[in-house]
Structure 1
């Protein structure tokens, strides 16, 4: 599987990581406990089995042209009642436009994950996986009392086969140096 993900500005990443830490300290599920080195707050725009030929370069060009994008977090929710605990992202028009453009590039990609496709996509930053709906109120009190703002400043792609990320924007390449 390959993804297209947007990365947060430092202040927005810090706000999300602080929510992860508050959840973990309260004994609730949290991505603070996820040990993989690629684990960091991100917004997934697309997920497919593999990129078509030439897509990675086209996606990088799109992301470089669009970034940075404003980011404003909204309420904390449990998606589908028993799935991830997320902080919803208010979809600014520029973000919706980039999302559509990414899917234009990936139109021929095999195995699109339907929950990321236009019309079904719910923009969010994950706080915990496999979260119980019964803990939603407590989690909202711990994680979602504020409405942080910031920017999406870089893009990357996660490759589930190699379990690594590849920069999709010059900004992310510069941050890795």
Structure 2
């Protein structure tokens, strides 16, 4: 079981990301619209762990009350390696990095085993568009997304998502 603490977007940004997912799918490419349980919501993950069952969610909710800063999805990117991930990258502002760190301080490591790529100092804030792309698909996906226009998303809610099912436990609405 894997869970993620995710920031969800305002309606306008949510719709725009969903259109991007559909565009990829319409071109025969896997996107989050067609992946696994098909219940994905556009989001930026603050942390991922096997479980948050032992976490003090009241402490986490208190940390989340400090308003999440706007998310500037300013560029497209990929991660190194063979996994083939395409994402809309979020500018890592000082305010966003401080918010991210406050979430991790509210979830001490001895209770939660965070995935290393989501720890402060390692985190690359992003909104996933597609995963499991081979080289040709990644190239095609970049061509489909050519002309991408940056957007600013307002965080409309934060929750813990069970990644296998898409079930969300709201933390902040």
TM-score using structure 2 length? 0.85
Give the unaligned 5+ runs of structure 2: none
**Which position in structure 2 is the counterpart of 1:141?**
143
The Cα shift of 1:44 comes to 0.5
Give the unaligned 5+ runs of structure 1: 172-177
TM-score using structure 1 length? 0.84
Q: Distance in 2 between matches of 1:35 and 1:162?
A: 8
Superposition RMSD on alpha carbons, in Å?
2.2
Q: Distance in 2 between matches of 1:140 and 1:70?
A: 25
2:54·2:111 contact (CA, 8 Å) conserved in 1? no
**Which position in structure 1 is the counterpart of 2:105?**
104
**Which position in structure 2 is the counterpart of 1:8?**
9
Cα 1:17–1:161 change in 2 (3 A) is: closer
1:19·1:142 contact (CA, 8 Å) conserved in 2? no
Of 33-42 and 100-109, more deviation after overlay is shown by: 33-42
Q: Distance in 2 between matches of 1:35 and 1:51?
A: 21
1:31-53 CA distances to partner (integer Å, 9 max, x unpaired)?
A: 12136264111111111233375
The within-5 A match list for 1:5-154 is 5-34=6-35, 36=37, 38-51=39-52, 53=54, 55-67=56-68, 69-83=69-83, 84-107=85-108, 108-143=110-145, 145-154=148-157
2:70·2:154 contact (CA, 8 Å) conserved in 1? yes
Aligned residues: 169
1:139-160 CA distances to partner (integer Å, 9 max, x unpaired)?
A: 2232252112221221000235
